[in-house]
Chains A and B, each alone.
Chain A
C-alpha cells in the first residue's frame, strides 16, 4: 500500500482537524486547577513519573478528605521532556488550554527558567525542584510566585563549609563535575569557606564521562589538601575514590549524598569509604509526613519513597498548596492564595504534618507550620526551602547520620 501525495495530504488534514477539535475545558467555580509538569521522559525520567503520580495521588487524597475551602483539585499532567522548549509548550498548553492556576513539579533548572516567565505572565504559581540560583531572584522571581523545594546548590556548599570547619579541616581543595549542579556545590563551598577566613589549595573542574580522572586528582593531591570537597555524581565519584585509594594519599572527602549509592558501597569497601563524609539535606524521614508520603509512593510506584526525594518534594508542593487554598478561604484568587504559602511553611506556628491536620487547625483559627516529607520547608523570603543538612559517616555497612548542621 502506497499513498500518493493527495491522499497523504488529505489524511494529514483530517488528522490535524481531529487533533485540533476543542474539547471540554469547562471551568467549574469550585475547582482549583493544577498542572503537574514533570520530566517523565528525558534526563529527569528517573524521577519524573514518580513525581507526577505523587501529585495526582496526593490531590486525589485531598479531594477525598473533602478538599480545601470548598474546592477540589483537578490535576492536568504533562511531560516537559526535561527540555526547555518542550517545557514552554507544555506550560502554554496547561496555562491556556487547561487554565491551571499553579504548575507543580518542574525539575531541571533549564525548564523552570524557561517556564517561569509564562507563569509570571499568567499570574500562576510555580513550584519547582531546580537548583539554579537565578530562580530565586528578579527577573525570574520578580513576582514572588515561584517556590523551590530543593536545597540550592549554594546551600549545599554552605553546609559543606560548616562540616569542614567542624571536622577541623584546614586545607580543603574542591573537585567539581562540569555542570551547573557540580560547580554550584563547590563554588558555594568556596564562598562560604572564604567567608570563614579560609582558603582553598586548589579548585578543579573536570569533564564528565572519562574512564580515568587520575590527572585531575593528581593535580589536586599535589597541593596537599587535607580534605577534598566534591561536587560529583555516582559514576565519576566511584572512579575518583578508587584512583585516590591507589595513590595511597590520606586525604578525606566530603561528598553530596547523591554521589554515593549502594553499588558504590558494595564496590569500594570500608578502607575507602571510612574516609568519606556524605552530606544530605535531611528528608524528614521519621516524620509523620514522610510516612504518609512513603505509603502513598509505595502504592503508586511499588518502590520505597526514600528512593525518590523529588517525589517527596512533589508531595509537599501539593499539600502546601492545598493548605494555602484552605487558609485563603472560599473564592480566593491566586494572589491571595500565593500570599499564604510562605507563612504556612513555617517556622512559626503549630507543627502539622498532613493536609487534614492542617486544615482542622486552620479551621480552629490556629497558626500552623507544615513540616513536610522532603524537609521542614520553612520557605525564606525568596521562596527557597531552608532544610537542615545531615553529615553521614561510614559504619562498615552503610552511611550513618552523625550530626545535623543548620545553615
Chain B
C-alpha cells in the first residue's frame, strides 16, 4: 500500500509543478497556454536522450529547461500579436509540432518506438522504500521552492504588472508598460518549469513515447488548475491533488461496490471525474481555493 501511495504522491508532485507553471501563465498573467505538454515533452525527451547516452542526470534537466525556454521565446513573439483564443490555438499547435518533430526525428528520439530504460533518480539507493521517498522529498522541496518564488513574484512589482495585464492589457499599455515583454518572460519561466516536470516524469516512468505528450495531459493540468482555483497558488497544489485523488480513488470503487463489474467500473471512472468537474463548475465556479471571482 505504501509504495502505491508513494507513487500517487510522486505523480501529484510532478503534475503540481506543471500546474504551478500554468497558474503563473494563465492564473496570474491571463495567457491561455494550451501547449503546456509541448514544453513538458521537451523536458522529458531531453532527459531521456541525454541520460540514455551516458550524460549525467543534471545535464538532462538543464538541457530540457534551456530548450523549453528557448522554444517559448518565439511563442512570446507570437503572443505580441495574438490574444486569448488565437494565442491558445497557436500554443496548441506548438505542442503538436513538438510531438510530430519527436516522431519524425527517428535518429535522435527513436520516433514512435519511444526510449526505454531511462535511469531512475537516486538508483544508488537499492531500497524500494527509500528511493521513492527521497525522490518525493526532492519533488516536494522543488514544489515548495517554486511556491515560494511564485508568491514572491505575485507580490512583487512584476507580479502587479502581470496581474494588470490579465485584467486589462490596454490599461497597462496606456500606463507606458510593454505587456509583450512581460508575457514573454512569463511564458519562458513557465516553459522551463514544465520541462523540469517533464524530466522528473521521464526518470520516474522510465520510458517515453510520443503518445505520452498528447494534448490530453495539457487538459488534465487545466482541469487541476480550474478545480483548485485559478490564480491561487495554493489552489494549483490542491487542485492537482484533488484531480489525482478523483482519478486514483475511483480505482478502489470496485472494492466498495462489488455489484458493479470491474470492467464497467473503468468506464464509469472517466464519468465520475467528468461529473466532479461539472459539479465543481456549477457549485464552486471559483475552484477549491478561490475565495472571490476576480474576473
**Chain A residues packing against B (C-beta within 8 Å):** 1-3, 5, 8-9, 12, 15-16, 19-20, 22-23, 36, 40-41, 48-49, 52-53, 56, 76-79, 81, 83-86, 88-90, 92-93, 95-97, 108-110, 113-114, 117, 121, 132, 134, 139-140, 178-180, 183
Is the Cβ of A134 less than 8 Å from the Cβ of B251? no
Is the Cβ of B283 less than 8 Å from the Cβ of A3? yes
- Given the interface pairs A19-B249, A52-B262, A88-B7, the reply to whether A79 lies near B269 with Cβ below 8 Å is yes
User: Which of B249, B255, B263, B291 is in CB contact (< 8 Å) with A40?
Assistant: B263
- Given the interface pairs A2-B284, A78-B262, A85-B212, the reply to whether A183 lies near B207 with Cβ below 8 Å is no
Q: How far is the CB of A6 from chain B (nearest CB, A)?
A: 10
Measured between beta carbons, the chain B residues less than 8 angstroms from A86 are 247
- B111 on interface, CB distance cutoff 8 Å: yes
- Given the interface pairs A1-B283, A93-B251, the reply to whether A110 lies near B207 with Cβ below 8 Å is yes
Is the Cβ of A96 less than 8 Å from the Cβ of B207? no
Give B235's nearest chain A residue, CB to CB. Answer: A5
Q: How far is the CB of A346 from chain B (nearest CB, A)?
A: 29
Give B254's nearest chain A residue, CB to CB. Answer: A77
Is the Cβ of B266 less than 8 Å from the Cβ of A79? yes
User: Which of B1, B206, B245, B265 is in CB contact (< 8 Å) with A97?
Assistant: B1
**Chain B residues packing against A (C-beta within 8 Å):** 1-4, 7-8, 11, 103, 111-114, 116-117, 128, 201, 205-207, 209, 211-212, 238, 242, 245, 247-249, 251-252, 254-256, 261-263, 265-267, 269-270, 283-284, 288-289, 291
Measured between beta carbons, the chain B residues less than 8 angstroms from A8 are 284, 288
Is the Cβ of B7 less than 8 Å from the Cβ of A92? yes
User: Which of A1, A5, A40, A90 is in CB contact (< 8 Å) with B289?
Assistant: A5
User: Which of B8, B211, B261 is in CB contact (< 8 Å) with A110?
Assistant: B211
- Given the interface pairs A2-B284, A41-B267, A113-B116, the reply to whether A92 lies near B3 with Cβ below 8 Å is yes
Is the Cβ of B291 less than 8 Å from the Cβ of A85? no
Give Cα A36–Cα B283 distance, bound, in whole angstroms.
37
Is the Cβ of B288 less than 8 Å from the Cβ of A83? no
Taking A89-B4, A178-B112 as given, write out 20 further A-B residue pairs in contact, using a Cβ cutoff of 8 Å, ordered by the A residue number. A5-B289, A15-B245, A16-B245, A19-B249, A19-B252, A23-B252, A49-B263, A49-B267, A76-B262, A79-B269, A81-B266, A83-B212, A84-B205, A85-B11, A93-B251, A110-B114, A110-B209, A134-B113, A140-B117, A180-B111
- Given the interface pairs A3-B283, A83-B212, the reply to whether A90 lies near B251 with Cβ below 8 Å is yes
Is the Cβ of B283 less than 8 Å from the Cβ of A113? no
Give Cα A119–Cα B178 distance, bound, in whole angstroms.
55
Give B256's nearest chain A residue, CB to CB. Answer: A23
Is the Cβ of A113 less than 8 Å from the Cβ of B114? yes
Give Cα A265–Cα B163 distance, bound, in whole angstroms.
60
14 contacts between A and B (CB under 8 A): A41-B269, A48-B266, A49-B266, A56-B262, A77-B262, A84-B205, A84-B207, A84-B212, A88-B7, A89-B7, A95-B3, A96-B2, A96-B3, A114-B207
Give Cα A178–Cα B111 distance, bound, in whole angstroms.
9
Measured between beta carbons, the chain A residues less than 8 angstroms from B201 are 85
Measured between beta carbons, the chain A residues less than 8 angstroms from B284 are 2-3, 8
Measured between beta carbons, the chain B residues less than 8 angstroms from A93 are 4, 248, 251
Measured between beta carbons, the chain A residues less than 8 angstroms from B128 are 121
Q: How far is the CB of A316 from chain B (nearest CB, A)?
A: 19
